[in-house]
Structure formats: C-alpha cells, structure tokens
C-alpha cells in the first residue's frame, strides 16, 4: 500500500506543477498578414530581388568593386565571426543532450575521531577474525581513487531539445544576418559609385560652363572698350564666372570624400576608383518586376532573420515551461579505489562502481522559474513585434521605391526638355545681347538657369539609380 501511495503523491505534485503556470499563447509568423500585391497592383512575376547582382548591375567596373567589397569588407568579416559564435552555441546545446563523462583521480588521507561512529567502527573492525592483515585499516586512513564519473539528464519534457532548436534557429538567423549585411553593402557600394558618376558629370558641366563664361567675359570686355557695355556688366559676368569656378572645387572635394568612403567599404585605402560610362549614358531597365509580398518575405534576409529569431524565442518559451517539471538525472561512476597503494590495481578487489537515478522537483526555486518563464514570454512578444516591424518596413520600402522610380522617370523627361529649352535660351540671349536687343542681366540669368538645370538633370538621373538600388535592396537582392 505504501508503494502505491508514493507514485500517487508524485502524480499529484506533478499535476499541481502543470497547473501552476498558464501556458502562453504562441506568437508565430503566420499571425502577420500581408497584402496580396504591392500597392494594390497585382504582380505575380518573379521578383527583381532574385536577379543576381552581376546581371542586375550592367557596369563591369561596379560589379568588380562589389565583388571586392563582399570579399574584404570588415562588416562582412564580423558577420562571419558571429556565425561561428552561434555555431559554437549549437554544439553546447547539442552536447547537453548527451551524458557527460569525466576522468576523476583523487588521493588523500583522513583520520576519524576516536569517539565517532566511523572511528569506533574502524577500530572494532580491525579485531574481527574475518579481516586479514592486508585489509586492516590504519588510524591515518589513506584514500586512492581513479575512474570515470558520468551524469546524464534525461530530456523527459524536451527542455534540452527546445534549447538546442533555439540555438540552431539563431545560427540560421546569424547566417541571414550576414546575408543582410551583404545586401546592405552591395547597395551602399552601388549608391556611392553612381554618386561618383554624378559628380563626374557635374564636374564636366561646370568645366563647360566655365569655358562659356570665360568667353562671355572676354566678349563683354571687348564691348566695354568699344563703349557698348559698362563696368557693371563686366563685374556681373566676372562674378558669375568666379561663382562657377568655386563650384568646381566643392565638387572636387565631394569626389575625394566619395572615393574615400567607397575605398573604406572595399576594405582598402588610397586606391583610385575606376569608373565606367558617364551617368547619362548608363542604361536603366525598361521594366521592373517586384513580384508579390510573399516573395519579399522569402527573399529578404532581415525579414527571414527576424522570423528565425521569433521561432527561436518560441523554443525558448517551451524550454522555460518545461523547467517547471521534475528532471530525471542518472549519475554513475566506475573505477579503482583502495586505502592502500599496493592493492590499488588488485582486481576485482579494488573495483568500485555506483549508479544512481533520481527525480528532482523544484520547490523553493519556483519563483525564479516563473520569472524566467514570464521573461521568455515577454521576449517572444518582443521578437514577434521585431518580425512584424521588419515586414512593415520591407513592404513600405518596396512601395515607396516603386513610386519614386516612376515619378523620377517623369521628372527626368521633363528636366531634359527644360535643359534643351534653356540651352537655346542662352544662345538666343547672347545673340540678342550682341545685337543690342537684350541686356547683360538677361544673359547672366539665362546662363545661371541652364547651369542649374543641367546640374538638376544630373541629380535626377542619380536619384533614379539610387531609387532602383533601393528597390533591389528592399526586395532582398544582392546577397547570393
């Protein structure tokens, strides 16, 4: 009857532990709903994010720079080391499922008090007729032991397996983190490259305007000598020339800063950055396919990393809940033991072993376990909102970049027409000024207008490439 009561009591205790902590509702990626299409426009074609970067970027100089950056960039190397750290964590969690074994060697000496149970027992034993001389125990008792000790926690409630799964998911997340670093790096290199192309184009525009303005100053000086212009006109043309020459040095400094920034991304110092065709001759894709939002979720590394972290936090929650239940641990040891070194290897007499299995049920530590469980629940909710935020940001970036590309294309077409009209206006104003039908202010104004329009056209073309790169990044392209 007593034997039957013990399992009954144990069952009652386990049931009380099961009821003592309410299981939290799991938060899974499926809870985040996304639209069927981007911006309400259905598009079931393959996403641009799946296009390899060597095909997406047509400029060979740019693809070469990107390859060098992916190989040598410090942030990529840091991400690789993070993968190694998480891989080591997986090995630790995997090892926890296996028995631990260690070699134990000990030697010592002890003396029991004369008025203790051990002291009296040993003293009395030495007078027994059953004890041979080699088994008589000295007053100062040596102790020699060498053997294997093992401990194994049986994973009854999948606590250890949940921890292993969480570590493995974080390993996958760290790999996706490295992919996102690569995607971001590809985007940054491309942005800086087209920034340099735009600055080169602006510098050419400045040089051409300086040449034309220098010629205009020469003409106005001749007209002043002939009495057809005054000193104020000379100063206006000269001031405009000086202003344009000042712009040249500002752009040169921006080129130096851009090259240094690009070299830093490439993990190098002081090397010139080779460029391809001018930015106005670089081709933009005629059609852009963004696919459906589900493509972005499967392709974009930061979204995938957030999803894996969410699943890992769910595994942590399972492990924290399993900590409420009793744990079964088996300990064992086997080795050689003797109080006399001369008989240490006397087998089987010196052979000693032990096996012990026991259930351990938390009692006073339950507040700590409950606190850990609440923390795991809150952490799962945090990771869920991280994932939700990643999805929202990804969707926003795709839609924003799509619309920006369309709007910039229309703006670029209009800006090209504006530049053509203003260039004709400059030529017309000079002819009218030379024939006396326009004043010098109209010529200065026309020249300033065409310079600003040409620079704005170059800036618009640069913005088009930047928007296309932003869309490629938003769709998860570039990390292959």
Per-residue pLDDT of the chain (480 residues; tens, 9 = 90+): 444 445 544 554 554 455 455 667 788 888 888 888 887 555 556 788 889 999 999 999 999 999 999 999 999 999 999 999 999 999 999 998 888 899 989 888 888 888 888 777 777 777 777 777 777 778 788 888 899 999 999 998 999 999 999 999 999 999 999 999 999 999 999 999 999 999 999 999 899 889 888 888 887 788 788 777 788 888 888 998 999 899 999 999 999 999 999 999 999 998 999 999 998 888 887 678 888 888 888 899 999 999 999 999 999 999 999 999 999 999 999 999 888 878 888 888 889 999 999 888 888 788 899 999 999 999 999 999 999 999 999 999 999 998 898 899 899 889 889 888 888 887 877 777 677 666 666 777 777 788 888 888 888 999 999 999 999 999 999 998
Q: 54-69: buried (b, 16+ CB within 10 Å) or exposed (e) per residue?
A: eebbebeebbebbebb
Which residues, including other chains, have CB under 8 Å from residue 429's CB and lie 6 or more apart? 438, 442, 443, 445, 446
How far is C-alpha 9 from the chain's CA centre?
Answer: 51
């Amino acid at each position: 009857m007593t034997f039957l009561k013990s399992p009954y009591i144990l069952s009652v205790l386990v049931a009380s532990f099961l009821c003592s902590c309410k299981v939290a509702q799991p938060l899974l990626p499926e809870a985040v709903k996304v639209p069927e299409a981007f911006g309400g426009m259905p598009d079931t074609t393959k996403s641009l994010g799946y296009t390899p970067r060597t095909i997406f970027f047509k400029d060979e100089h740019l693809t070469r720079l990107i390859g060098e950056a992916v190989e040598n960039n410090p942030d990529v190397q840091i991400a690789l080391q993070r993968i190694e750290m998480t891989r080591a964590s997986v090995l630790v969690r995997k090892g926890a499922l296996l028995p631990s074994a260690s070699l134990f060697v000990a030697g010592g000496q002890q003396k029991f008090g004369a008025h203790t149970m051990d002291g009296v027992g040993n003293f009395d034993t030495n007078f027994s007729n059953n004890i041979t001389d080699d088994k008589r125990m000295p007053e100062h008792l040596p102790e020699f032991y060498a053997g294997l000790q093992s401990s194994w926690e049986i994973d009854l409630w999948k606590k250890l397996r949940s921890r292993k799964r969480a570590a493995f998911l974080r390993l996958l997340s760290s790999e996706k983190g490295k992919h996102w670093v690569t995607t971001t790096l590809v985007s940054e290199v491309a942005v800086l490259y087209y920034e340099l192309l735009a600055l080169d184009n602006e510098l050419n525009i400045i040089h051409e305007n300086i040449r034309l303005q220098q010629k205009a100053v020469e003409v106005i000086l001749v007209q002043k000598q002939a009495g057809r212009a005054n000193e104020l006109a000379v100063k206006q043309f000269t001031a405009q020339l000086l202003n344009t020459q000042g712009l040249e040095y500002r752009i040169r400094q921006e080129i130096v800063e851009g090259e240094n920034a690009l070299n830093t991304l490439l993990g190098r110092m002081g090397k010139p950055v080779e460029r391809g065709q001018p930015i106005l001759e670089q081709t933009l894709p005629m059609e852009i396919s963004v696919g459906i939002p589900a493509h972005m979720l499967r392709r974009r590394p930061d979204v995938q990393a957030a999803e894996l972290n969410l699943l890992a936090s769910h595994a942590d929650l399972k492990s924290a809940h399993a900590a409420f239940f009793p744990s079964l641990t088996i300990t064992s040891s086997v080795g050689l033991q003797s109080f006399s070194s001369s008989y240490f290897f006397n087998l089987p007499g010196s052979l000693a072993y032990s096996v012990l299995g026991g259930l351990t049920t938390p009692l006073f530590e339950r507040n700590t376990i409950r606190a850990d469980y609440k923390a795991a629940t809150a952490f799962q909710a945090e990771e869920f909102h991280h994932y939700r935020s990643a999805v929202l940001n990804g969707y926003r970036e795709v839609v924003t970049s799509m619309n920006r590309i369309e709007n910039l294309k229309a703006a670029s077409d209009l800006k090209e027409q504006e530049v053509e009209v203003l260039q004709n206006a400059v030529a017309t104003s000079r002819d009218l000024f030379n024939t006396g039908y326009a004043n010098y202010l109209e010529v200065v104004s026309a020249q300033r207008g065409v310079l600003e329009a040409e620079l704005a056209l170059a800036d618009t073309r640069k913005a088009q490439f930047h928007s296309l790169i932003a869309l490629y990044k938003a769709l998860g392209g570039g990390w292959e």
